Amino acid sequence: MKYLSIAWFTLFVIVLIGCDHTSNTNNPVVNQADGKSISITDSSDRTVSFDDTPKKIITLGNGELDIINALGGNLVGRPTGTLPTHLNELKDLMEVGSAHGIDLEKVTMLRSDVVLGNNPMNIKDVPAIEAIGAKMVLTEANSVDDVKNQIQLFGQLLQEENQARDIIDTIDEKITAIQSNQSSDKKRVLLVYGAPGTNMAALPNSLSGSLVELAGGENIASDFASLANYPQYAQLNAERIIESNPQFILFMGHGDPEKVRDGFIKEMKQTAGWQHLEAVQNNHFEILPPDLFGTNPGTRVVDALDYLDKLFQEAKD
């Protein structure tokens, strides 16, 4: 189904649903059932107000889908693509695209109250979403703290602050438990994010980089220059990788992860000194689970931390 152009899409949906939405951002109406409106500030510093707790929610990312599901929100639309196994119960929800491209026709059909998108990726989509009578809340997930902020914000949105606090406490307890058992000798780690033909180093300001540091790893690319369009990533530098001598090389990516890993190794073998890396000598090439790394795992950041902690602990000298 083709995406409608925003230019005439706005006119179309005003005719289609104009009579169905009696409130708007200029004239908010407090729901008389509970007399309580909701106002939150999202990651883009936008204040978004609701007359009542949103009843129909669309998410553009699996992390947000996981969090809303954990908080008991009513989901009507989900990201296009394969779901993590623990979210299979939501597989029959309508797929509405992703943060990279929203199917506005489907969003319109669902008559949602709110669409949860990415900051800054979906800032440009706010006018189109508001034109169909929905609100848009933007968040980011470039660290574990960001994920906790998402949980807190969505708890406010759904009026489930206590449940959100319990989830955040569980994450904090996991971090404390892992860090209390860490040695001062951190494992040197290279995080590679790639797809066929493209490989990048994930930096500490990425979610995967945050997870590695919390689990006791040292990101060898911490001082690599970030990419202008992808500030959480950097170009791979073979010579600097050799110099840093990583003990682990961890792979994330789309498509065939084995193929991504093999392509990277083939490229690196052309660099003198590659065979002497500790990661090579100890065969510490790990393909990270895609539902936990390379994308926002939502409340399952605790599982991602467990995974890395076990990996590093088993490699203790």
Average pLDDT, the chain: 87
The yes-or-no verdict on residue 297 having pLDDT over 80 is: yes
DSSP letter (8 states) at residue 247: S
pTM, rounded to two decimals? 0.86
Reported as half-sphere exposure (CB side, CA atoms, 13 A), residue 58 has a value of: 29
Element (H, E) at 212: helix 207-214
Ordered by start, the domain boundaries in the chain are: 6-172, 183-314
- Token pair, residue 55, equals 């009843």
Digit-coded pLDDT (tens) for 242-258? 999 999 999 997 767 77
Helix 161-180, helix 301-314: angle, nearest 10: 10
What fold, for 183-314?
Rossmann fold (3.40.50)
Question: How far from the centroid of its chain's Cα atoms is residue 44's Cα?
Answer: 16
| CA–CA distance, 65 with 61 (Å, rounded to integer) | 6
Q: What is 6-172's CATH number?
A: 3.40.50.1980
Strands (E), 83-141: 94-95, 97-98, 101-102, 114-118, 135-139
| pLDDT for the residue 86 | 94
Beta carbons within 8 Å of 185's beta carbon, 6+ residues apart: none
Digit-coded pLDDT (tens) for 205-246? 999 999 999 999 999 999 999 999 899 999 999 899 999 999
The yes-or-no verdict on residue 6 having pLDDT over 70 is: no
- Token pair, residue 156, equals 């406010």
| pLDDT for the residue 198 | 82
| pLDDT for the residue 159 | 97
Q: Using pLDDT thresholds of 50, 70 and 90, give the confidence band for residue 294.
A: confident
Please answer whether residues 203 and 234 qualify as being in contact, where contact means their C-beta atoms are separated by less than 8 angstroms.
Answer: yes
Q: Using pLDDT thresholds of 50, 70 and 90, give the confidence band for residue 268.
A: confident
Digit-coded pLDDT (tens) for 119-172? 999 999 999 999 999 999 999 999 999 999 999 999 999 999 999 999 999 999
